[in-house]
Amino acid sequence: MSEIKIIAGPSSQVLSKRVSDLTGWSMADVEYRKFPDGESYLRIREEVERAVIIQSTRRDEDIIVLLQLLDACEDAEKHVIIPYFGYARQDRRFRSGEPISSRVIASLIDADSIAVINIHSKEVLGYFSSPIRELDASEELGKYVKTMEFQNPVIISPDYGAIELAKKISEVAGCDHGAMKKERFGDEDVRISADDIEVKGRDVVIVDDIISTGGTIREAISILRKKGAKRIAVGCIHPVLAGDSLSKIYRSGAYEVFATDTIETPVSVISVSRVIASHLREIL
């Protein structure tokens, strides 16, 4: 059987190397550059018959590169890993005249198999025409939380949408969990309450699947501090962290922010490489 090659997309270079180390599959030689007009160019500089393409799609250009890689591997067996699938929050039409953007993008990705990690909306999975599986990184976050030196900690989700994530992390970490109530009035205008959560004198870890602007997290920190929480850490799977959101979260009182490497950032201290490698060994 032909050798499996890992093709590291430009947005997932470090993660691809970690998966390569765990699987023993070498990384393909790929050239990436830009034309003077800004268009993307790539070339796979070796023959690949069985490819594992790893590429998060945080930005629009990441989507273009993923599609280019798929076309460059036209005759190969292709298995795609999209650690962070962008546009997953645009999973339905909220007003007339809007596209269902996640459906548009999903329909373009044609491969022998596709895997995503903790996608924001399960509905998006139904938009793919190729076989797709959602992988779960919550255990990796739970293991990390377990190593932190906390006093009577509690894992809290900033809304009920992330309560299952908080529950899974707490089960691995061996601590309590709870959820706050959130109402959103815009990208950064959120109102949160935590009437049913007792945090006085306790360390708290706020967890969510995605942190983008950080507005929800900052409001949650403010409320929990007023309720007497001690140290407050913040964790997520997908650290989008748009603009200066990370510094705003720190200024709001978070003593630590941690995330996985589905998006490679300075706070990506947890790797999902074992989750991906396990999946790949199962299907290949």
Angle subtended by helix axes 138-147 and 163-173, to nearest 10: 50
Instruction: Give the residues across from 27 on adjacent strands.
Output: 6
Catalytic residue selected from 182, 226, 230, 248? 182
The whole-angstrom separation of Cα 143 and Cα 206 is 15
Per the annotation, the verdict on 182 as an active-site residue is: yes
| CB 66, CB 55: distance < 8 Å | yes
CA-to-CA separations, 44 to 51, 105, 214, in angstroms, rounded: 11, 23, 38
Residue 248: other Cβ atoms inside 10 A? 17
- Give the residue among 96, 97, 122 at the shortest CA–CA distance from 106: 122
Structure tokens of 144?
Answer: 């990390």
Instruction: Give the residues across from 127 on adjacent strands.
Output: none
Helix (H, G, I), strand (E, B) or coil at 37: coil
List residues with catalytic annotation: 182
